[in-house]
Chains A and B, each alone.
Chain A
């Protein structure tokens, strides 16, 4: 027994010993009191509806209101009439504006549960078990309360999203330049507009950490730097002396991966090389799956590699077979990796499945850039055919098409759904472009005599950073970032201690690669098949496997007899097995001979004349055939 256990036991003896005696003496009486108190509570709660949904629909849920108890009616005289009147009023009352607003807000918290008002309830789920029915009902009610509470808690969010709105009819938001914008911004935001002139080693690719605080930039000609971009504090800066094609932060600002000329490398915050990932040959694009700790890359070989960065194992290696590749993006909603290919196809991958989860033909030419929004609903692609398309990736359908003068080199979608495209020397941003087809862009910027190579929105901020041939630019796009961050997900004001703790938690919650599917909510779902059906299907699959294995010559009866003299060896056995499949003249003759023999024997059997058989004739054939 541990010390604490001992202590607690003593504490219990002292603290509860006395009261227990009392409790036992008036045991029954007290319980009766409790019941009474509970009833009182219940009736109170009936009067003050706990949930929004209860308020209008209350009267048809509580039995007391629906069918007033006779006894109660007798007991209560006039006062009860008042109550029932109130109830009637409550039944008729329409939800007020606030309630309607909350109900509208609750839409996104529903997670598949259909929440409706009042009488138009969805049909009850048919469950055979009488025991389970009330449980399901109870659980449903609890979930409804949770959904409404979640919607109500939006009230507690402190920050408002940014905006840029035209006031007069003649004003156009896309005509606002960054200089004009800077004049009407506070000093804090004004500092976010800057251009870094790095003309020697460009064009630049870049990446922001998930909390948007740290920036990683890599110049094509080998320049690498990390910085806390808001304060302008430089982390590490060095030169790798070879081509850099892509850069990518890992789970936090302590590690980052770089796609270099021959291999991918991992560096730490000080710029020291931690790993050389030799399995990633000539990588061109990198992606990191933060919940699975997987680094995905593709390259000149056209393969998709998944490497677990915590233990270093290669988790998956897929060959789409469409040639060299440079477009790879991770879907933040379900961690599926999207790849854009040279033939205009976009494929979606899970590390454990060698075949793509889905294929979409998106463009008539090579896919040039891609972006996926955080809800996993929309994907934007641009192709060398000059089109920029928005797709609904839940049902793989094209929604809208936008045009850029030249094919967009890079795309990104901000947290609040703004679409940015970098083409030529231009960056164009559209607002609400995913949901509807908009006519005019929201904002744009031209930096003459440059070529934009990479556009990235900063998470949790109204800033768009983009790398180009002569350095890096940062511009303010009001309304781009999520205003209210969750400190348990990503905290822009994270301290070192918090980062360390978060890292431990992240590692504890590391997901298995098998959890990556198009629908990430499949875990814990009920299997609708019956037990017999499941067993039948299992049996069927086993049978198929057996048939396939047998055809492949996995079992003994398929093995070729050893006719050769000399020593047996695995290599020779293998060679013989291979030989078995090759048709040569000798073998053909053998087969022919065998068939001939067969025919002859059959002919012999038929030759016995009827007269010889006599009365026992009908047994002849059977006897012969069995012999």
Chain B
């Protein structure tokens, strides 16, 4: 007779001393884990609830400006610093870690500061600013001496333009920068006059953005509802895209050189592929007022936008609706937003003269985590992902407390859009010529001209 019975020795399964770790054997046989689907669902629901419980996106409000903040620049060579320009012509440099002003120029411009940008390279801490006073100025925190607080430091260089400037951006590698006013001008930093003028149509240009990957391409948007792409190598335009309403801001995708996002007056953010602009790649719709600024995350997978409806929204570039909305009781119209280059924070500058610092993922916490903690977070993420379509979990994950104004406006807007759609559908139905439906991605586009 062959006989064996289970006999576990206690010494094998228990620890000898308190410094040992406990042995926790696993057996993943499904029969040992009954009701696993239901339990994972419950865990997913708990994870979703905890996520919303810990969602405290607001970190700090940096005050100092007297007028609204209308221009902002992040420095790719220094994660800590950010430069802002306000409506009264003041420039401020902030340290995000200590949350204070580290440099300021009270009367940098007479009139509104319309744009700031850093001079790349990382050798100097120089940056450029333009204002409605037709001046473009180069500043440096380390080079310009400050006599006393409240006195404007000296500029490193000044360029005089013919028109009030509306935007500025620097070339990725060469000592060139582009400004926008009623035309786009390309400046060499060593010359006092612009080296090239770029125009196509004679209207005011809202902003100019240089592509930081495909470095010779730049995009502008004008008040004539157009978005124009120029090439620096030929000093000529590439293409012109006209939309139904004008575009307020442009941001190039840092990872995919041919993609860019635009903030439109019609409450939407559009992403385009510059090789094929007859339709938008994606339409991101949730704002209830004009979108004033948009910025890509450094991964190119997410977007942040600021709107005239006093809210900041975060988007997944591939999805049609925002994944989160940030608002504060005292935050007014948002005019500039930036995604920080560590992909963890979002900055917003608004009419109420405050610079606000937000978390990019509302419930995420920084700081070192233990292995177990990280494991638990990863597990929770996976569960939420897996059960995201189950109604109860989805409800928890999607719910946001939104200011009454926005909620009301979005309801009205929804009604309006629906009735418009219904009307279109009816027209299409009773049209003899058999009109095809216009895709949403083409609706806002009036036309494209390629050169």
Which A residues are closer than 8 A to B by beta carbons? 1-2, 4-10, 12-13, 16-17, 20-21, 24, 27-28, 108-109, 111, 150, 153, 157-167, 171, 173, 176, 181, 184-186, 188-189, 291, 332-335, 374-376, 460-462, 476, 478, 481-489, 491-493, 495, 498, 508-512, 515, 520-521, 523-524
Contact B341 A186 (CB under 8 A): no
Per-residue interface assignment for chain B, residues 21 to 47, with 1 indicating a CB less than 8 Å from any chain A CB and 0 otherwise = 011111111111111011101110010
Q: How far is the CB of A97 from chain B (nearest CB, A)?
A: 22
Chain B residues contacting A335 (CB-CB under 8 Å) are 34-35
Set A1, A13, A160, A375: member contacting B357, Cβ < 8 A: A1
User: Interface segment, B2-10, B105-113, B397-405?
Assistant: B2-10
Q: Bound state CA distance, A333 and B33, in angstroms?
A: 9
Set B2, B25, B59, B387: member contacting A5, Cβ < 8 A: B59
Contact B30 A521 (CB under 8 A): no
Most buried by B among A334, A508, A520: A520
Cβ of B366 < 8 Å from any Cβ of A?
A: yes
Minimum CB distance partner of B123 in chain A: A21
Contact B122 A150 (CB under 8 A): no
Q: Bound state CA distance, A160 and B6, in angstroms?
A: 8
Contact B80 A9 (CB under 8 A): yes
Cβ of B14 < 8 Å from any Cβ of A?
A: yes
Contact B79 A374 (CB under 8 A): no
Chain A residues contacting B4 (CB-CB under 8 Å) are 160, 162-164, 478
Chain B residues contacting A20 (CB-CB under 8 Å) are 76-77, 79, 341
Set A12, A462, A509: member contacting B39, Cβ < 8 A: A509
Cβ of B97 < 8 Å from any Cβ of A?
A: yes
Q: How far is the CB of A82 from chain B (nearest CB, A)?
A: 39
Cβ of B344 < 8 Å from any Cβ of A?
A: yes
Contact B5 A159 (CB under 8 A): no
Q: Bound state CA distance, A29 and B339, in angstroms?
A: 24
Q: Bound state CA distance, A27 and B34, in angstroms?
A: 51
Q: Bound state CA distance, A184 and B7, in angstroms?
A: 13
Set B1, B28, B96: member contacting A171, Cβ < 8 A: B1
Q: Bound state CA distance, A334 and B6, in angstroms?
A: 28
A332-B34, A484-B25, A511-B35 known; A493+B13 contact, CB < 8 A = yes
Chain B residues contacting A7 (CB-CB under 8 Å) are 366-367
Chain A residues contacting B446 (CB-CB under 8 Å) are none
Contact B41 A523 (CB under 8 A): yes
Q: A6-B98, A374-B31, A492-B13 are in contact. List 5 more A-B contacts (CB 8 A).
A: A9-B345, A10-B80, A10-B97, A486-B26, A486-B27
Q: Bound state CA distance, A4 and B365, in angstroms?
A: 8
Chain A residues contacting B440 (CB-CB under 8 Å) are none
Contact A486 B33 (CB under 8 A): yes
Q: Bound state CA distance, A464 and B443, in angstroms?
A: 75
Set A16, A27, A158, A484: member contacting B213, Cβ < 8 A: A27
Contact A8 B366 (CB under 8 A): yes
Q: Bound state CA distance, A495 and B76, in angstroms?
A: 53
Chain A residues contacting B367 (CB-CB under 8 Å) are 4-5, 7-8
Chain A residues contacting B341 (CB-CB under 8 Å) are 20
Contact B59 A374 (CB under 8 A): no
Q: Bound state CA distance, A104 and B4, in angstroms?
A: 25
Chain B residues contacting A164 (CB-CB under 8 Å) are 1-4
A184-B1, A478-B5 known; A375+B27 contact, CB < 8 A = no
Chain B residues contacting A488 (CB-CB under 8 Å) are 24, 26
Cβ of B195 < 8 Å from any Cβ of A?
A: no
Cβ of B424 < 8 Å from any Cβ of A?
A: no
Q: Bound state CA distance, A521 and B14, in angstroms?
A: 36
Chain A residues contacting B5 (CB-CB under 8 Å) are 162, 181, 185, 189, 462, 476, 478
Q: Bound state CA distance, A509 and B33, in angstroms?
A: 13
Minimum CB distance partner of A480 in chain B: B6
A335-B35, A520-B35, A523-B390 known; A9+B366 contact, CB < 8 A = yes
Contact B1 A167 (CB under 8 A): yes
A163-B3, A484-B27, A486-B33 known; A511+B8 contact, CB < 8 A = no
Q: Bound state CA distance, A486 and B23, in angstroms?
A: 11
Contact A108 B27 (CB under 8 A): no
A4-B365, A12-B344 known; A185+B28 contact, CB < 8 A = no
Chain A residues contacting B30 (CB-CB under 8 Å) are 108-109, 111
Set A160, A478, A487, A498: member contacting B25, Cβ < 8 A: A487
